[in-house]
Amino acid sequence: MRETELVLGRRWILVLEPGEEVIAALDEWCARTGVRAGTVDLFFGAFRSVTLIAGRDDTVDPELPLPTSVEVAYLEGIGSGSIAQKDGSARVHLHVAAGVKSAGGAAYAGHLLSAEVHYTVEVVVQEVLSPELTLRADPRAHGIGCLFFE
């Protein structure tokens, strides 16, 4: 376990509009407002489409990160995540659990690669002033990007 105490800054609520791509909109917002690190305490809403790291077939080794993704249409969902520095820019890292509206709410969950807003998505962001948060490959996690404190 890694741990650190956070020095917090500003706090926002954002409302994303139909057609916006969630991660791209949040990355652009971070650049515009100067947010370098933070927590996405909550986001929720209606999505026209969501692409997650996931698979539809049995995995050969469940310990390894999945190399595939799935796209699912017309969902309602909720998630959270972090904002950290990667390659000199703030990057948003989100996970979501979302139910397909036409399938009785059958759910998909996982690391969000992309999502298009259908009606609205509301986001609560808390800025972290210190320490610096970074995303970098962690060999102990099969090389996937993990959160580190500088």
pLDDT digits 0-9 by tens, 93-133: 999 999 998 888 889 899 999 999 999 999 999 999 999 99
Backbone angles phi, psi at 85, to 5 degrees: -80, 135
Nearest Cα neighbor of 48 from 71, 69, 73 is 73
pTM: 0.90
Say what the pLDDT of residue 60 is: 62
Burial 54-64 (b: 16+ CB within 10 A, else e): beeeeeeeeee
pLDDT tens, residue by residue, 52-87: 987 666 666 666 555 667 899 999 999 999 999 999
Sorted by where each begins, the domain ranges of the chain are 11-58+66-136
Token representation of residue 30: 């971070």
11-58+66-136 placed in CATH 3.30.1330.80: yes
